[in-house]
Chains A and B, each alone.
Chain A
Amino acid sequence: MYWNLVLYSLLCFGMFCLGSCSGTGERPENSVEAGVPPEIFPDYREVTIPPNIASLNFRLASADSVEACYALFSGKEGSSMEAFGKRSLQIDEKAWRKLLAENAGQTVQVSLATRVGSQWTVWDAFPLFVREEPIDSHLVYRLIEPGYEKWHIVGLYVRDLTTFEETPLIRNDMTGYNCINCHSFCQNDPEQMLFHMRAAHGGTYIVHQKQVEKLDTKTPQTLSHLTYPAWHPSGRYVVASVNDIRQIFHAVKEKKMEVFDTASDVVVYDVQKHAILSKASIQSEDAFETFPAFSPDGKWLYYCVAPARKMPEEYDQVRYSLCRVAFDAEKGEIRLPADTLVRADSLSYTFPRISPDGRFLFYTETAYGQFPIWHTDAELRMLDLTTLQPVDMSPLNSPDTESYHSWGSNGRYVVFSSRRDNGLYTLPYLCYIAEDGRPAKPFLLPQEDPEYYDFLLYSYNIPELVTGCPSVGPYEIQQVALNGETQRVTYR
């Protein structure tokens, strides 16, 4: 009996020890200067961060022989904190919060030293620019394997940006391994959102507070169920594309796969009347319209449009312009004609998103098409709507794919997806946007374990900043999916 108990106790103790091991607690002595800044992952050197972000834990990019590392974070007036590790640094959260609070609007210098054998090397210090403006407290995204035609576990997750807590909003293993996609929040409000489920328990799910409504949005007059959605700021309307989506796989190494539409329209759905409004919709056979969005004042409907082409033969000749058309929220109607804001000459433009102050149009540029997630040339662009002049976005872009993006509620931060880390997995980057629209150097969403991304087998999809944690829980959504009644949407 006692041997068994001893055995179990030892096992528990062992697990406890394994879980609590960290850092060596060593400070550098007799060090030499490296003369260059350290190579770290994620690259947090010289990034601009909000004062409420969780600690920026990182690892050395190439650390095979490093046995210990030490970092000193120094702020104004002597405020500082230390961090210890072996090949990576996990910063004490409490000390980090205090440091950022004391240095909001200031610069924090990070000095890193590493030890190989008994020799310490001190690397050139790098700054962290701490802004005074906070970022929205939560980020919602879908985690999905970056596969081709197959998915397995898909889930919408809410991440607290001030800590490392991640909670599922809904996961598809709770709803028959169906597909869950295209979540969208109304004005960064965690209490008003929608998302779709496809295959089992298919439908569009609209969440308001803790009430979940399940909709069948296919009508005889529209091409498909609602696809790529965006809310009207009033919360009464949702604009969405309806698409006939196809995909093909390339044979050459430069390209992987192509997602394209053979037909698409833009429609407006009235949340109160459960109806798609014909007078607010843009449906034409000789053009592809997609990826719509409302302006924050609700007076304009932005969308992408391209002349219809023979698909899939001419998939690489479809180039989308960015247009907008006036929207009358009182009557639920659009007012033609449409303005073309960014004309597709040799390139294609997609994913229009307007800053909360209505001044900037943030969008994606690619060689062709409207779904550039596998286009390495895809870059993010910004247009100042007051001057119609482009903003230089080069600090934000990389040689790899940048695609989906969204604004934070105060207009000072954006989040966007990028494949810059390994060219395969899409990860969320946060970026400070100055009042004149210029971006700072973006930074990867921090994680508690600096090696988290190395072992991650998911892509972050559709990152959306929200001002709090949605109060609806996974089990409430699951109940509606499994047992709830479906509201059929009409077309009027």
Chain B
Amino acid sequence: MKKIQTVWKDGGLLVLFMLGCFLFISLNFTYWFHFMEQYMLFWDTKAYWSERIVEIGGLNEYLSEFLTQGFSYAGGPAWIVALLSGGISFLFYGYMRACGARPSMLVAILPMFLPWLFPIENITPLLAVLWAFAGIHVYRCVRLPYLRYGAGVVIVALLYWWAAPAHLLVAMLMAVYELCISAAGNQRRNAWVASLLFLAWAVLLPFVGMRLFWVVPVREAFLSRYLYHPEYPLPSSFWFLWFSFPVLAVLAYRFRKVVWPGKASVRFVLAYGLLVLGIAWGIFMRKNPMEQAYRYDYYARQGAWDRIVEHARQKGVADQDALVYLNLALSYTGQLDKSVFDFPQIGEAGFIPHEPRTRLGLIEASEVCWRIGQVNAAQRFAFVGVLSSQRRVQPRLMQRLVDTYLVNGEYRAAEKYIKLLEASPRYRSWAEGRRALLDPRVCGATDWVAEKRRLLSVTDNPIDPTQVFPSALAFLLDDHPENRPAFDYGMAYLLVHKQLPPFMHYMELELKRGGSFPDLYQEAICLYYATVEQNPEAFRRYAVRPEISRRFSQFVQALSKGTPASLLEKTYGDTYYFYYYTKGKR
């Protein structure tokens, strides 16, 4: 009966924690993991397996890449992280009990809150912990001490090869286990010797590996290739997580005989209460500050531009990255020439990141350049984005590379990346679809390719759109005045920066082309002819709608009477001239 109660209590805690973990990731970090999925690429080729398996920690990396494919799906990240966290907690609980401690499941769960405090970039460290617990599980199944010591040496070596740095953790866990289960006298002495042997072996192994098998820096020899990188250092949670297990195990063992005060039922309720509090704290207090940008990045990948605009209308815009995506979404949904001032604009950096170096910035730069028709720059930022990733793969940007090579007619280069993506189950169908476009006739007859090709740059120039965005747009428009995305971006830029004369230069060209003028542009035209060039005849050519013209006159009258801005905003807050006169300096 007591056993059933314990199982129900501890099992219930574990299930509750996994549920909490699922909710925490779902509500706060889903888009983060969706984003991070782009930085791993699993290939199911034999050569890739062979390459990975000979690396330090290569098998762990291989499995990590395999599982990360699940991050693409809506609930994927939450399920995977919850299952991993639950699995680790369960094994840790079993380990502590094997050591002779009688802890609550709550103690076993505690370390798995650390990734909530310090979010992880990928699941490789968690998988390494799982490997370590699998290793200790096998180890403690061996009953004969000397046979077990021998097995320990082999397990540490295998885990180093397969899942470094799991070997460091498993050596610590073995040492703690031996010391906990050993009795006094000879047995205790042997346990000490074995513990020191395991720890020394775990520390020595990387140096042995460096001399015999791998040419790598010391840190990589200890941590494996992808758990150390100067640009992407390990999160602090890694170290806390690593040491929390042996420390908690020792503490649980040390206090195993402590009889906790109070009734069992009270302790039961208290344990559940504490866990619920911890989960609630995580869910409500540990929000991802970049959530909106990663959400928009995810929507952008899906082509769900409407959802970006819709979300921004409901929630506002939190940061520059989100604004870049929002403006891109306005462009894709044909609203950049109407609704750009519905949202707070910050200038050039809100349209394209300035000299991007971050992962998100490089993706955004490539996306914007692709949209405006600067295919070479889109290709360049995609390439740099791939290189900037820790594993030198970025399937989403590799897809962009394929498309840029197809548009430029560089079919062999496109095929190279198609082949790379075809080797990945996650991207295979996309790549196979693109393979058909390697036939130049099919490619040329494909609508989106033809459209991109039609707007390709004709006049060479060395302008980097992320350094001088308006100049890059000007070159594009000089070549193709009908390039609507570039035109709308250009006009939005000029209006945001209140540069009415160059704006009117393009309006003049648009007029000659017989183009139409959305309300936003008409308001700016009214403003120009009222403030810069008093030329009623020229103004009339634009056929500004009477109500727009009348409303502008009323605004000017109100402004001249010294109406406070707060009052003006109520009536004219949605107009360009209100922005012009009140938001920022000219």
Contact = CB atoms under 8 A, between A and B. Distances in A.
Interface of B is mostly: helix
A422 B416 contact: yes
B481 interface: no
B413 A249 contact: no
Given A145-B387, A255-B460, A171 B215 contact: yes
A249 B377 contact: yes
Interface residues of B, number: 55
B387 A423 contact: no
A149 B158 CA distance: 40
A426 to B, nearest CB: 12
A374 to B, nearest CB: 12
A252 B460 contact: yes
A148 B377 CA distance: 11
Contact of B457 (A4, A150, A253): A253
A150 B458 contact: no
Contact of B461 (A251, A425, A449): A251
A152 B138 contact: no
A1 B141 contact: yes
Contacts of B419: 454-455
Given A5-B138, A18-B46, A153-B392, A312 B215 contact: no
Contact of A424 (B47, B416, B475): B416
Contacts of A454: 416, 419-420
Nearest to B374: A251
> A interface, how many residues as a size bin?
35 or more
B383 A455 contact: no
A25 interface: no
B462 A250 contact: yes
Interface in A139-173: 145, 147-153, 167-168, 171, 173
A19 interface: yes
A1 B142 contact: yes
Interface string B144-179: 000000000000001000000000000000000000
Interface string A426-457: 00000000000000000000000101101101
A474 interface: yes
A168 B220 CA distance: 15
B387 A251 contact: no
A491 interface: no
Contacts of B320: none
Contact of A252 (B43, B387, B456, B464): B456
A162 to B, nearest CB: 21
A18 B387 contact: no
Interface string B214-230: 01110010000000001
Nearest to B379: A256
A484 interface: no
B380 interface: yes
A253 B459 contact: no
A449 B47 CA distance: 8
B504 interface: no
A167 B216 CA distance: 12
Interface in A4-19: 4-5, 8, 15, 18-19
B423 interface: yes
Contacts of A1: 138, 141-143
B137 interface: yes
Interface stretch (B48-56, B108-116, B324-332, B535-543): B48-56
A182 interface: no
A173 B220 contact: yes
Contact of A168 (B215, B383, B462): B215
A149 B456 contact: no
B215 A452 contact: no
A257 B45 CA distance: 34
Contacts of A257: 380
Contacts of B384: 147-150
Contacts of B375: 253
Interface string B123-152: 000000000000001100111000000000
Nearest to A168: B215
A111 to B, nearest CB: 27
A1 B343 CA distance: 63
Interface in A402-431: 421-425
A204 to B, nearest CB: 22
B409 interface: yes
Contacts of B407: 253
Contact of B376 (A152, A250, A452): A250
A21 B45 CA distance: 13
A174 interface: yes
A147 B387 contact: yes
Contacts of B215: 167-168, 171, 174, 474-475
Interface string B371-394: 000111100100110111000110
A19 to B, nearest CB: 6
A8 B138 contact: yes
Interface string A311-327: 01000000000000000
A121 to B, nearest CB: 24
B415 interface: yes
Contacts of A245: none
B138 A150 contact: no
Contact of B420 (A177, A252, A255, A455): A455
| Among A145, A152, A253, A424: residue with most chain B CB under 10 A | A253
B133 to A, nearest CB: 13
A42 to B, nearest CB: 14
A455 B409 contact: no
A249 B458 CA distance: 14
The 6 closest A-B pairs by CB, nearest first: A1-B141, A248-B462, A253-B408, A422-B412, A251-B457, A424-B413
Interface of A: 1, 4-5, 8, 15, 18-19, 21, 145, 147-153, 167-168, 171, 173-174, 176-177, 248-253, 255-258, 312, 421-425, 449, 451-452, 454-455, 457, 474-475, 478
Given A19-B50, A151-B387, A249-B464, 9 more contacts: A145-B387, A147-B387, A148-B380, A173-B216, A249-B380, A252-B457, A253-B407, A253-B408, A424-B412
30 contacts: A1-B138, A1-B141, A1-B143, A4-B138, A4-B141, A5-B138, A15-B53, A18-B50, A19-B50, A145-B386, A145-B387, A147-B387, A148-B383, A148-B384, A150-B384, A152-B388, A174-B217, A176-B230, A248-B462, A249-B462, A252-B457, A253-B375, A253-B408, A253-B409, A258-B462, A312-B462, A422-B415, A452-B47, A455-B48, A474-B215
